[in-house]
């Protein structure tokens, strides 16, 4: 292992997309990092993920994007800007998001679609195998008398670290060390997402009228209850160089922003196709053609942290990604917020003047920067889901939906985490922040 550049070590709990990105970036900067994953290998539940311009800025800043682009089997950023059509009827055009006014968006394209396991496969070889530990389910973290943190695992082993980063997802154990054992904000949103992958060759034979591979499509619901009084919308995105269609179909019980208690396990399970088709009764032919090719969709009970956490840090324990701000997926922004977290933490921890003596102060800066930004996106994602379900009589007109777009998407995509940290670190240096006195 390369010699360390810092007088502190880091334990990262969780080896998903954010945890692995954080581990690789910190270790490549010479920091002593160990990753603890609860299962026998790195893996992500789910199919594809879309990375917007803000997420790509963060990954480029971490010098990880080229590895990820290669794994995506794409020559360049591949997601064209989202188009909105009606789910019912003849799939009328509602709106197409333009790139005008969004800084840093390549002409006509807005990001990258990648299969989640491919993302992890791109980064895992960049880690020293001696620093990755599998079958290590963390059950607690507590401070030691020396000011470090003691991690305890289900197999009764322990590990001490100066800094613990919780990247262990929505059901985070590390979050309890930040907000307390009794503060569990996990809520079910009364929404199920039915996910699956469909071959584009199969869609070609379905004689579809909609050009489904040209750009991501949001098939907007009509705001009316279909079977069982539910609201629905559909998202499709071509991945793997246009050979596979990633599909996410959302079925919600209308209840505004009111949330329900956490759902019993399992949250993800294979479900009969008919359950999905029942929810989309009355939709247009092309939408139904896509759904009928999802032979065994996986049904996800969508949860969120609500109300949002006010802090992501306690002492020398810090949260990133879903552990800090798990949100509904309606702006496709959750993983991007996680990468913004990782970039901010990486910049602060790798600063030449960051030491164990001022580590708590440095983490307080992270905590001043990230919750307000991530929680704003969390709230807007809820609003977006209500909008996508709501085109039609008594809900939103085409013009009203189009008018919402600049604010919803601009708030996600326009943010430049690199420039933000440049300015913040410049301020810290000018104020002699890194002095331990």
pLDDT at 110: 63
Question: What would the DSSP string read from start to end of 140-182?
Answer: EEEE-TTS-EEEEETTS-EEEESEEEE---TT-SHHHHHH-TT
Last residue of a domain, one of 255, 277, 304: 304
Q: Cα-atom radius of gyration of the chain, to the nearest Å?
A: 22
In sequence order, which ranges of 312-434 are alpha helices (DSSP H)? Answer: 322-325, 334-349, 359-388, 398-413, 417-430
Q: Which residue has the higher pLDDT, 389 or 13?
A: 13
Is the confidence at residue 257, as pLDDT, over 50? no
Q: Which residue has the higher pLDDT, 289 or 107?
A: 289
pLDDT at 130: 96
Question: In this structure, are 169 and 32 located in the same domain?
Answer: yes
Separation between Cα atoms, residue 255 and residue 190, nearest integer Å: 8
Is 94 part of any domain?
Answer: no
pLDDT at 104: 47
Determine the distance from the C-alpha atom of residue 151 to the mean position of all C-alpha atoms in its chain, rounded to a whole number: 25
CA distances from 358 to 192, 341, 362 (A): 44, 19, 6
Q: Which residues touch 28 (CB under 8 Å, ≥6 apart)?
A: 63, 126
Is 84 part of any domain?
Answer: no
Number of domains observed in the structure of the chain: 2
Is the confidence at residue 108, as pLDDT, over 60? no
pLDDT at 391: 52
In sequence order, which ranges of 154-281 are alpha helices (DSSP H)? Answer: 174-179, 200-204, 273-279
Question: In this structure, are 310 and 300 located in the same domain?
Answer: no
245: alpha, beta or left? (left if phi > 0; alpha if psi -120 to 50): beta
Question: In this structure, are 166 and 208 located in the same domain?
Answer: no
Give the residues across from 246 on adjacent strands: 197, 237
47, 7, 435: which is closest to 235 by C-alpha? 47
Question: In this structure, are 322 and 342 located in the same domain?
Answer: yes
Separation between Cα atoms, residue 257 and residue 275, nearest integer Å: 24
Q: How confident is the model at residue 150 (pLDDT cuts 50, 70, 90)?
A: very high
Separation between Cα atoms, residue 273 and residue 279, nearest integer Å: 10
Is the confidence at residue 102, as pLDDT, over 80? no
Is 46 part of any domain?
Answer: yes
Average pLDDT value for the chain: 88
Give the mean model confidence (pLDDT) for residues 288-308. 94
Q: Token digits for 20?
A: 């692995």
Is 167 part of any domain?
Answer: yes
Cα angle 349, 353, 354 (rounded to 5 degrees) comes to: 30
Question: In this structure, are 67 and 175 located in the same domain?
Answer: yes
Q: Are 195 and 115 in contact (CB under 8 A)?
A: no
Question: In this structure, are 227 and 343 located in the same domain?
Answer: no
The whole domain housing 313 covers 9-78+110-185+306-430
Question: In this structure, are 291 and 327 located in the same domain?
Answer: no
Instruction: Give me the percent of the chain exceeding a pLDDT of 70.
Output: 89
Last residue of a domain, one of 262, 289, 304: 304
Is 293 part of any domain?
Answer: yes
371, 276, 384, 11: which is closest to 166 by C-alpha? 11
Q: Which residues touch 108 (CB under 8 Å, ≥6 apart)?
A: 80, 81, 99
Going by their DSSP bridges, the two strands 83-86 and 217-220 should be labelled as parallel
Is 1 part of any domain?
Answer: no
Question: In this structure, are 27 and 162 located in the same domain?
Answer: yes
Q: Token digits for 88?
A: 């019912």
Q: Are 332 and 216 in contact (CB under 8 A)?
A: no
Largest CA distance in the chain: 71
Question: In this structure, are 57 and 171 located in the same domain?
Answer: yes
348: alpha, beta or left? (left if phi > 0; alpha if psi -120 to 50): alpha
* Low-confidence winner among 21-30, 125-134, 165-174, 407-416 (lowest mean pLDDT): 407-416
Q: Are 242 and 213 in contact (CB under 8 A)?
A: yes
Give the mean model confidence (pLDDT) for residues 57-85. 84
Is the confidence at residue 233, as pLDDT, over 50? yes
Is 85 part of any domain?
Answer: no
Question: In this structure, are 163 and 64 located in the same domain?
Answer: yes
Residue with token string 């440049």: 422
Last residue of a domain, one of 304, 325, 343: 304
Is 135 part of any domain?
Answer: yes
Separation between Cα atoms, residue 383 and residue 377, nearest integer Å: 10
What φ, ψ does residue 67 adopt, rounded to 5°? -65, -40
Going by their DSSP bridges, the two strands 93-96 and 83-86 should be labelled as antiparallel
Q: Which residues touch 358 (CB under 8 Å, ≥6 apart)?
A: 434, 435, 436
Is the confidence at residue 367, as pLDDT, over 50? yes
Question: In this structure, are 61 and 192 located in the same domain?
Answer: no
Query: Domain holding 362: CATH number?
Result: 3.50.50.60
Q: Which residue has the higher pLDDT, 243 or 229?
A: 243
Question: In this structure, are 160 and 300 located in the same domain?
Answer: no
Most trustworthy range by pLDDT among 108-117, 205-214, 314-323: 314-323
Going by their DSSP bridges, the two strands 244-252 and 138-143 should be labelled as unpaired
Q: What global pTM score does this model have?
A: 0.91
Separation between Cα atoms, residue 83 and residue 94, nearest integer Å: 8
């Amino acid at each position: 292992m390369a010699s360390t550049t810092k007088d502190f070590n880091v334990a990262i709990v969780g080896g998903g997309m954010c945890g692995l990105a954080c581990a690789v970036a910190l270790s490549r900067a010479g920091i002593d990092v160990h990753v603890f994953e609860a299962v026998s290998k790195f893996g992500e539940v789910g199919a594809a993920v879309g990375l917007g311009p803000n997420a790509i800025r963060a990954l480029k800043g971490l010098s990880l994007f080229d590895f990820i682009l290669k794994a995506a089997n794409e020559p360049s950023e591949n997601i064209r800007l989202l188009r909105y059509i009606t789910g019912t009827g003849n799939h009328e055009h509602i709106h197409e998001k333009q790139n005008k006014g969004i800084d840093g968006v390549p002409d006509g394209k807005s990001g990258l679609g990648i299969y989640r396991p491919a993302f992890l496969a791109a980064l895992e070889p960049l880690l020293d195998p001696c620093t990755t530990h599998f079958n290590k389910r963390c059950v607690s973290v507590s401070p030691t008398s020396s000011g470090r943190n003691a991690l305890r695992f289900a197999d009764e082993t322990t590990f001490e670290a100066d800094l613990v980063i919780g990247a262990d997802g929505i059901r985070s154990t590390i979050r309890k060390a930040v907000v307390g054992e009794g503060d569990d904000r996990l809520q079910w949103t009364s929404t199920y997402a039915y996910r699956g992958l469909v071959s584009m060759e199969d869609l070609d034979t379905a004689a579809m009228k909609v050009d489904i591979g040209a750009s991501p499509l949001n098939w907007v619901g009509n705001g009316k209850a279909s079977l069982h009084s539910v609201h629905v919308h559909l998202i499709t995105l071509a991945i793997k160089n246009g050979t596979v269609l990633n599909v996410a179909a959302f079925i919600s019980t209308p209840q505004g922003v009111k949330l329900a208690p956490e759902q019993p396990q399992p949250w993800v399970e294979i479900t009969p196709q008919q359950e999905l088709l029942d929810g989309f009764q009355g939709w247009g032919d092309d939408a139904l053609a896509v759904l009928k090719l999802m032979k065994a969709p996986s049904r996800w009970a969508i949860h969120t942290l609500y109300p949002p956490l006010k802090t992501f840090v306690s002492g020398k324990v810090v949260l990133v990604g879903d552990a800090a701000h798990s949100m509904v997926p309606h702006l496709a922004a959750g993983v991007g917020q996680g990468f913004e977290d990782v970039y901010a933490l990486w910049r602060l921890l790798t600063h030449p003047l960051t030491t164990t003596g001022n580590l708590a102060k440095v983490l307080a800066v992270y905590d001043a920067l990230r919750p307000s930004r991530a929680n704003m996106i969390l709230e807007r994602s809820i609003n977006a889901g209500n909008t996508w379900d709501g085109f039609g009589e008594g809900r939103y007109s085409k013009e009203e939906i189009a008018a919402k777009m600049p604010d919803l998407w601009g708030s996600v995509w326009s943010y430049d985490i690199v420039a933000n940290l440049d300015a913040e670190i410049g301020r810290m240096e000018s104020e002699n922040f890194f002095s331990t006195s």
